[in-house]
Structure formats: structure tokens, C-alpha cells
């Protein structure tokens, strides 16, 4: 949340005020405090609106939107409150946009007989290059806006931010995580009428795997940005959940009940991931990934790439980044790697603790690649 505040929304002061009323490890306190603050900010926006101060109104609505977003992080998706607050987050986001000068609109991308919800920032004044932003296991399209979308617009790009199956509210519409996510991203490209050939694809966390699938197969992509690149998601799951995989199922079920009865944060998170995968429980989700996940043939990727990694990333994510980087360099594929050490303040997974620095790095690289003025 402090990282988001570097780009848009709530200040550090607001966040520490909210945190002062949260008992550590208590998701009910977290939800209550962030929901209360969202209500406060929305009321402030309604009052300021009477004076016609649109910039301030926009700021307050964005802040309220991301306060609700924080509450959603620890809300069980199986309770009615989840979708109620999700819809409120979407409403607040568009109210913020409507009171700004950002040419953003809500979009729906046709995919397998349904629609993927997204946002598009499209400028009509001239043909602009495009950035498509893809999130991971914990993102919705509103997150993609502060992660890269807002800075993309300020740097003169068209930006597409779309929730894939399993992301955002899509599981509520029977669109859960699938092994072939690349086809969904290609559907976005099919829908989009690109004004130039310069299309960059940026993936964060699990998006580093989703975008790798597309970079391997879809020649319309001219640049790849990943934090971090992943070619073998099954191995990431094996390493991350090795204890789960080694535990007998009967003991695992008993242990999971014990864990969630003691740790309410774990209970909410595991329920959310099971919902996203369309499974009864999280252990079943892990099993399905191990059975079905496809390994990306990174030898087929030959486009300029920027890989971001933090000192706080897991050893397996850093290993896969090194493997792909070494292959690219051996084949003469242009690749830039930016490793964020702790001193940078951007050492966390996906640089969530210093989004501003990450945004500078991405667009300095991309502007140079696409020969745009920085």
C-alpha cells in the first residue's frame, strides 16, 4: 500500500493512521479500518465536488478505490461482502477517472464465448505505441493501473489492462485460472486495433509466466518486460509448496484445518486462491497446476526483453531469470536485467515497495527501445 501511494492514492500518513487500529494478524481489523477510511474519503470527495475542484475529487476517489482494494485483499470471495466491495471499488475507480483528464475507458474483450473485463487508455491525437499490462495471482485491472498503466499514459503510450481468467472478478463468472493463458492475451491483441507495430507486453508475478507464453508464440509482440520471467510455473509451485507436496493427504487436511483455525490470514488467502483456481481447496489447486502446467520454450523467444528482479524474490524465480537471460545472451537476443538490491528500496517481489523507481526503469528502457523522447 505504501508503494501504491508513490504513484496515486493514499499517503503514508493515512496508511499509518489506518494501521494504528489493526491488531497484527487480524484480517477483520484490516477490513474494518480500510473500509471505514474508504467511506471517509468518499464522503470527502462528495463534499469537495460541490466546489468544482475536479483534481482533488479525482485524488480522493482514487484513494477511496485503493482503500477498498486493500480491504478486498483479506475478504473471503465466498461471502456476499466480497462482490459488493468489488463493485464499489470499480465504481470509485471510474468516478476518479471521470474527474481526471485520463482518457481511460472500461472495455470487454471477447474470449471463448465470454468477456474479459479491462481498461484501455487510448489517445486519439496521434498514433501511439502500446503497452499491455498483465498481472498475476493477486491482481485485478485496477492494480494494473498503478503498477504500470498510469505511468504508461504519462509517457505517451496507449495502455491495455485486462483481467485474464482467474484474475479480478472473473472466477465469479466461471472463468478460473487455466494452463493456456497465452490464448487469452492473444485474444486481447485480436480485439485491439494497434495504431503502430510497437507493442510491448509487461507481466508481473504470475504474469511473468503468462506473458512468456505469448512472447513464445505471438509475433505481434515487439518487446517483453517481466518481473520476473517464468518458464516453468510447475517448478515454482514444487519449490514454494514442497512441504505440502510431501505431506500425506490425511495429515495435510488435518494440518490445514489447524493452520486456518489459528491463522485467519492464511484461511482467507487459501480460500481466495482455491476460488481463483475453481477448486474445493488450495491443495487441489496445487495438484492441478503440477498436472497441467505447460513449460514455455524460451528458446523460441527472440524479442528485446527487460527482466526485473528483487533481492527479496525467491531463489527459484531468480534461477529461472538467470536461465532465460543466459540463453538470450548466448543467442544474441537483446536482454537487460535490472536487479534491485535492498538499498534501492525496490527489493520486494514485483518492486511493490518502490513502484515509482520501477516505473522509471521500465519506461527509460522502453522509450529508448522504441526511440521515443524520454
Nearest to 327 by CA among 303, 308, 299: 299
Residue 191 predicted with pLDDT over 60: yes
What mean pLDDT comes out for the span 108-115? 96
| pLDDT the model gives residue 282 | 83
Share of the chain above pLDDT 90, in %: 83
| CA pair distance 131, 112, nearest whole angstrom | 23
| CA pair distance 53, 275, nearest whole angstrom | 41
| CA pair distance 168, 367, nearest whole angstrom | 30
Hey, which CATH number is domain 1-101, 1.20.1440.110, 1.10.150.130, 3.40.50.720, 3.40.50.2000?
1.20.1440.110
Nearest to 169 by CA among 267, 260, 283, 88: 88
Helix axes 80-98, 54-73, angle to 10 degrees: 160
Annotated domain spans of the chain: 1-101, 105-232+293-374, 236-291
pTM of the model: 0.93
Residue 253 predicted with pLDDT over 60: no
Helix axes 282-292, 264-277, angle to 10 degrees: 40
Q: What is the residue-averaged pLDDT of the chain?
A: 93
pLDDT digits (tens, 9 = 90+) for 59-85: 999 999 999 999 999 999 999 999 999
What mean pLDDT comes out for the span 175-183? 89
Task: List the grid coordinates of 294.
Answer: 505447460
Q: How confident is the model at residue 291 (pLDDT cuts 50, 70, 90)?
A: confident
Contact 72, 276 (CB under 8 A): no
CATH number assigned to the domain covering 105-232+293-374? 3.40.50.1820
Amino acid at each position: 500500500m505504501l508503494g501504491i501511494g508513490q504513484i496515486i492514492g493514499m499517503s503514508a500518513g493515512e496508511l499509518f493512521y489506518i494501521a494504528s487500529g489493526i491488531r497484527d494478524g487480524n484480517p477483520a481489523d484490516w477490513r474494518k479500518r480500510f473500509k471505514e477510511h474508504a467511506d471517509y474519503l468518499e464522503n470527502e470527495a462528495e463534499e469537495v465536488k460541490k466546489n468544482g475542484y475536479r483534481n482533488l475529487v479525482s485524488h480522493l476517489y482514487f484513494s477511496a478505490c485503493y482503500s477498498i482494494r486493500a480491504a478486498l485483499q483479506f475478504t473471503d470471495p465466498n461471502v456476499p461482502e466480497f462482490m459488493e466491495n468489488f463493485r464499489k471499488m470499480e465504481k470509485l475507480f471510474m468516478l476518479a477517472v471521470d474527474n481526471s483528464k485520463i482518457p481511460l475507458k472500461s472495455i470487454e474483450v471477447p474470449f471463448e464465448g465470454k468477456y474479459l473485463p479491462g481498461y484501455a487508455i487510448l489517445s486519439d491525437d496521434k498514433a501511439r505505441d502500446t503497452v499491455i499490462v498483465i498481472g498475476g495471482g493477486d491482481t485485478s485491472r485496477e492494480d494494473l493501473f498503478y503498477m504500470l498503466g498510469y505511468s504508461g499514459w504519462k509517457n505517451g503510450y496507449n495502455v491495455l489492462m485486462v483481467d485474464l481468467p482467474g484474475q479480478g472478478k472473473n472466477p465469479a463468472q466461471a472463468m478460473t485460472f487455466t494452463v493456456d493463458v497465452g490464448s487469452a492475451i492473444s485474444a486481447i491483441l485480436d480485439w485491439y486495433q494497434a495504431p503502430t507495430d510497437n507493442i510491448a507486453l509487461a507481466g508481473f508475478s504470475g504474469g511473468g509466466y503468462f506473458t512468456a507464453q505469448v512472447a513464445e508464440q505471438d509475433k505481434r509482440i515487439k518487446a517483453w518486460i517481466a518481473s520476473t520471467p517464468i518458464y516453468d510455473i510447475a517448478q515454482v509451485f514444487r519449490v514454494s509448496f514442497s512441504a505440502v507436496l510431501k505431506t500425506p493427504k490425511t495429515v495435510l487436511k488435518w494440518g490445514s484445518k489447524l493452520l486456518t483455525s489459528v491463522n485467519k490470514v492464511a484461511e482467507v488467502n487459501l480460500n481466495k486462491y482455491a476460488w481463483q483456481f475453481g477448486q474445493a481447496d488450495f491443495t487441489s489447486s496445487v495438484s492441478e497446476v503440477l498436472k497441467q502446467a505447460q513449460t514455455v520454450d524460451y528458446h523460441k523467444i527472440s524479442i528485446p526483453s527487460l527482466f526485473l528482479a528483487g533481492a527479496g524474490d525467491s531463489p527459484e524465480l531468480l534461477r529461472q531469470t538467470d536461465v532465460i537471460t543466459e540463453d538470450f545472451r548466448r543467442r544474441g537476443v537483446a536482454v537487460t536485467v535490472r536487479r534491485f538490491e535492498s538499498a534501492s528500496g525496490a527489493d520486494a517481489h514485483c518492486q511493490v515497495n518502490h513502484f515509482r523507481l520501477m516505473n522509471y526503469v521500465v519506461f527509460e528502457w522502453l522509450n529508448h527501445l522504441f526511440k521515443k523522447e524520454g
